[in-house]
Amino acid sequence: MIKTKQDYIESLKKQKLNIYYKGKRVEDVTAHPALMPHINAAAKTYELALQPENEDLMTATSHLTGNKINRFTHIHQSVDDLIKKVLMLRLISHETGSCYQRCVGFDAMNAMYSTTYEIDEAKGTSYFKRFVAFLKYIQSENLMVVGGMTDPKGDRSKRPSEQSDPDLFTHVVEKREDGIVIRGAKAHMTGAVNSHEILILPTQNMVKGDEAYVVAAAVPLNAKGITLIFGRQSNEERKHEEGIDAGNKKYGVVGGEALVIFEDVFVPWERVFMCGEIEYSGMIVERFATLHRQNYGACKGGLSDVMIGATALAAQYQGTANASHIKDKLIEMMHLAETVYAGSIACSAMGYKMKSGAFYPDPLLANCTKHNITRNIYEISRLAHDIAGGVMATLPFDQDLRSPEIGKHVKKYLAGVESVPTESRMKILRLLENMTGGTCLVESMHGAGPPQSQRVMYQRLGNLQQKIQWAKTLAGIDE
C-alpha cells in the first residue's frame, strides 16, 4: 500500500510507462525535470494524509471495508463528506500553489459508482459489482487514478460514429469472450504520467449508432498499447533550469496534462463498467461534470489565496502597500476568491443522497461555481498584474542576477524598499508570473468544461417556467 511520498515515487519507478516528452521516450518519470514538479504536487495528497492535524480532511472511513482510506479514493456518504472534500482541496492548494491531479479520478469514481448502480438496477447487468471490486483495490493500495473523459473529437459538427477517422473518439473495436479491445485517445489528461490507472468514461451524450463509443473501463497505464505524450505548458523550459526563474519549481504550473493513446488495448470484462448503454452516457457525463465543477471554488480559491498573498508581498516589496487603491484592489481579489469558494461550499451543503447511497452536490450550484471561476480567476490575475507592475513580465534572467559582471546592476536597479533583497522581490514576481499566466488560466477556463457547457446546464436546471409562474402569481396574472 502507498502511504508515504517515497512509497508513491517508488511505485512510479516500477511502472515503466510508455511516456514521450519532446519526441523522446522518458525512461524514469521520477528523474525527469519536467515531470518531477507534478509528482511532488501529487505526493502532497499522501504526505498531508499522514499528518494528525489533517487526518479528518485527508482521510475517510471506507463504507465498503470499514478501513481508513485516503479521501481521494472515497465515495461520498454524506453532505459532510462533500464539504470536507472542498476544505481538503483548498488546503492542498495552499501547500502546492499548483494542481495536485487526483481530483479528476476521484470525481470519475464517484460518478461511476452511482451510474453503474442505476444501470444494474434497470438492466440487470453486473457493472456495479465489478466497479466495487475495482474500487476496493484502489482503496486498499491507495492508488492514483486519472479520470479519462475528454476525447480529441475531430470534427465537432459530426457525431462519433460519423467521423471519417473513428479513432478520434475512444471506442470498442472488438468484443471477446474474455474482454474488449479499445482504440482511440483521451486528451488533456491531468496527472496521467504520474498515475497508476486510468478510468475511461464516455465523453458526451451518445445516440443510436454511437454504441461502440459508450465505454467505461479501468486500465493500468502500463498496459500494452498505451502511449502517453506529455503536453507542453507555458514556461515549460524553465523547469529544466536552476534558480528562481521557474517561479514554482517544486510543484510546477498546472497538472502535467498528457495525450493518452490506446492502440488496441485489451480490457478484461471484470474491468468494464459500461459497454454500449447509450441511454446512460449522458448521465455519467453530467454526474462527472457536476462532481468536478464542485471542486473549482475550492482548488482555485486556494490558489487565489496564494496569488493574493504574493501580490500583497510584491506591493510591500516595492513600497506601494499603503496606497489606498492597492488596498482596495487586494480587497476585491479577496472578495472574488471567497465568492468562488462559497459556491463550492454551497453546492456541497445542498447535496443529496442518490439511489446508490452516495451523495451528490447540487448540480445547478456546482455549474454556477465553475462558471464564476472562468471569470473571477481572470479578474484576480488582472488585478495581480496591475499591482505587481510591468516589471513582472520583463525581469532579467536568474543568471543575470548571479553574474559577476552584471549582477550588481540587477541588484541595484531592480531593488524596491531598502530592507528587502532584490532577489526576494524577483522571487515573488516570478511566482506571480507562474501562477497568473498561460496554462493556468486556460485550465481555469476549460477544465471541467468551458463556460458554454455550464450555460447549457443553467438552461436545463434553472427551472425558468417556475420562475415565470412565481412572477405571474405576484402580478395577479391568471392565464
The yes-or-no answer on residue 257 being catalytic is yes
Residue 67, burial from CB neighbour count under 10 angstroms (0-12, 13-18, 19+)? exposed
Residue 100, CA atoms < 13 Å, CB-side half-sphere? 29
The yes-or-no answer on residue 296 being catalytic is yes
422-450 burial, b for 16+ CB within 10 Å, e for fewer?
bbebbbbbbbbbbbbbebbbebbeebbbe
Exactly one of 296, 317, 341, 360 is catalytic; name it: 296
Exactly one of 59, 190, 290, 436 is catalytic; name it: 190
Exactly one of 275, 299, 368, 440 is catalytic; name it: 299
Q: At 244, phi and psi to the nearest 5?
A: -95, -5
CA gyration radius for the chain?
24
Exactly one of 170, 292, 360, 374 is catalytic; name it: 292
The yes-or-no answer on residue 286 being catalytic is no
Shortest CA distance to 356 belongs to which of 68, 64, 148, 83?
64
Retrieve residue 179's grid coordinates. Answer: 474482454
Exactly one of 8, 103, 170, 433 is catalytic; name it: 103
Report how far apart, in Å, the C-alpha atoms of 443 and of each of 140, 431, 439 are: 31, 17, 6
Residue whose grid cell is 526563474: 245
Contacts of 102 (CB under 8 A, 6+ apart): 42, 45, 72, 144, 145, 191
Exactly one of 32, 38, 99, 280 is catalytic; name it: 99
Neighbour count for residue 400 (Cβ, 10 Å): 15
Q: What angle do CA 134, 59, 349 make, to 5 degrees?
A: 95
The yes-or-no answer on residue 99 being catalytic is yes
Exactly one of 197, 211, 257, 277 is catalytic; name it: 257
Q: Which residues are catalytic?
A: 99, 103, 190, 257, 292, 296, 299, 443
